[in-house]
Amino acid sequence: MLKKNLFATRTMVIVLAASMAVSGLTGCGSRQTDASADTAAAETYEEAPAAEYVEPAEQSGSYESDAATAAEAPAADEAYYSVESEPMAESAEYDAVEYADNSLSAAKAAPDYRYGKPDIGHDYYPGTEEYTKGEENGFKPVATEPLSTFSADVDTASYANVRRMIMDGYPIEYIDPDAVRPEEFINYFTYNLKNPKKGEKFGLSKEMSECPWNPDHKLLMVGMKTKPIERESAKPTNLVFLIDVSGSMFGEDRLGLLQKSFKELTAELNENDRVSIVTYASGVNTVLEGAKGDERGKKKIVKALDDLQAGGSTNGEGGLKLAYDLAEENFIEDGNNRVILATDGDLNVGISSEEELKKFIEKKRKSGVYLSVLGFGSGNLKDNKMETLADCGNGNYNYIDSLMEAKKVLVSEMSATLETVADDVKLQVEFNPEYVNSYRLIGYENRMLAATDFNDDTKDAGEIGAGHQVIALYEIVPAGAENTINLKYGKKGATEDKASNMSSRSGQSSEFEGEYATLSVRYKEPGQSKSNLFDVVIDEDDYNNDPSDDFVFASAVAEFAQILADSDNKGDATLEDVKDMLEELDITDDEYKEEFEYLVQTLILSERRSY
């Protein structure tokens, strides 16, 4: 059942704060975004005129309390919310405490839920959250651009952050399209991909079928998977918890959830591991140095976490420098050395230049110390800075919206999160113009590379951990289709006969007969400077009229992401179509996929109530 609106009887007025200048953190991990003005602590900003916002419930009755709407909801809608959920903790109500750094925010207790309960009627507001995403990938004609090159991405922050918005009652129009990175939605989930063969780094999977949101197009799915490592077999870890304890981190869904999250990770450590803790606010402080992961050391770590309090400004640069220093002092040869930055991303003191900070992190990553980022909180979340910091630091970026997510990232997927098995992973797909007229890569806008970057080992790219999976989807316009891109002076497309059925064999003889594309992958062993290369052909045998459950689910997630991002290429995509695709699958053994279905149903019901 839907969560009862805690503030249904109160009129809510939202003051829209002036958004801060978007930071110019670009270039690392193949982020291809426009640079913007640097943010410095000394800068001041004019406050935007206050604007009143009337709660939708008071305009049209769209967001009513659960009790008021239960009787009106059709029986079918009731079925949408039949997923059993653990009760929300009593602390899941909103505190009335306001803090100086953001007068709009109220401290919200961190939920510890299985699937959660949508907060219909929540006082959502834009706040000063910052997102940066490159221009959406459009269709590229194969005749002139046969190569598609991008960096691997195993971040999942975008999906978890948008999930938080949906659970907080945001209607679709209030979800920032730039917050939606489709590849992070798709890669959030687990798929039944092929395991690596003996002596190989990756297992490769490939499949083609009809495109759900455009029946005239085809969809290509390529996937890579690394071998998982049991915790007992993992390398010893040298971790530095770099914790933001500034005023903006006040609240149970910020510092409170952060403390619980790191305790979950601490419980998984062993006597071969080491942990240091650095905090930063107006100043920087070493709370703990080189504590072992045995039982005695764990007690020290837990006590240090319990003693943390939030207050002050945000000297992120000073914190990063000290954290890297401690990581290098406690460096474990042939171990996993990593700084884990936990923050809302609001770095506002000690940074004279974003470019200098980026160069600092790039230099430090050469020491063998990786940087991963955990995002917390809402209202002033600086997603763009956190994503870039992780990219520059050869790490991954996750957003923690609940204790359940913390357990997924730091416990269930601990080896994938913390132990890197491949550096600078790049993918390049070459399409065959005889079979493919044009294509577009879904997502990865912040990870695009120039074609020449693929063979350049000096170009940074993404890292992949043990047991990680990477999925990429391409929407393909077959050669000879009605909406092909034809060039006046270019080579004519293939015949209608070739494109009419991608699963049928062509009668023409050719050296590359039946080949639609070739996938090439480059990667480096951790700490090495020279890359390894392998490739695989994608041909008509990979076409499936009855696609696999993995293909259908990934397609549904991609369609959902394109709807939320208001994609120019979403075609006939609807939430109802996504729901129908999911109902064809048996996902009862995967709680995260069940939760995704629940989010889709939540938005469908939300849209019905708005009419």
Q: What is the 3-state secondary structure (H, E, C) of 20-32?
A: CCCCCCCCHHHCC
Tell me the pLDDT tens digit for each residue of 406-443. 999 999 999 888 899 999 999 999 999 999 999 999 99
The whole-angstrom distance between residue 196's C-alpha and the CA centroid of its chain comes to: 24
Q: What is the C-alpha to C-alpha distance for residues 520 and 442, in angstroms, rounded to an integer?
A: 18
Tell me the pLDDT tens digit for each residue of 55-96. 434 333 333 333 333 334 444 444 433 333 333 333 333 233
Q: Is the pLDDT of residue 472 over 70?
A: yes
Tell me the pLDDT tens digit for each residue of 195-233. 999 999 999 999 999 999 999 999 999 999 999 988 788
Q: Is the pLDDT of residue 193 over 90?
A: yes
Amino acid at 105: S
Please name the CATH architecture into which domain 231-411 falls. Answer: 3-Layer(aba) Sandwich (3.40)
For residues 426 and 147, the answer to whether their CB atoms sit within 8 Å is no
Predicted local confidence at residue 491, as pLDDT: 55
For residues 204 and 542, the answer to whether their CB atoms sit within 8 Å is no
Q: Where in the chain is the domain with CATH 2.60.40.1230?
A: 136-229+419-484+515-574
Beta strand pairing status for 469-478 and 436-441? antiparallel
The whole-angstrom distance between residue 596's C-alpha and the CA centroid of its chain comes to: 14
For residues 221 and 472, the answer to whether their CB atoms sit within 8 Å is yes
3-state secondary structure of 52: coil
Predicted local confidence at residue 64, as pLDDT: 34
* 136-229+419-484+515-574 under CATH 2.60.40.1230, yes or no: yes
Mean pLDDT of 564-570: 96
The dihedrals phi and psi of 295, each to the nearest 5 degrees, come to -60, -40
Q: Where in the chain is the domain with CATH 3.40.50.410?
A: 231-411
Tell me the pLDDT tens digit for each residue of 590-607. 999 999 999 999 999 998
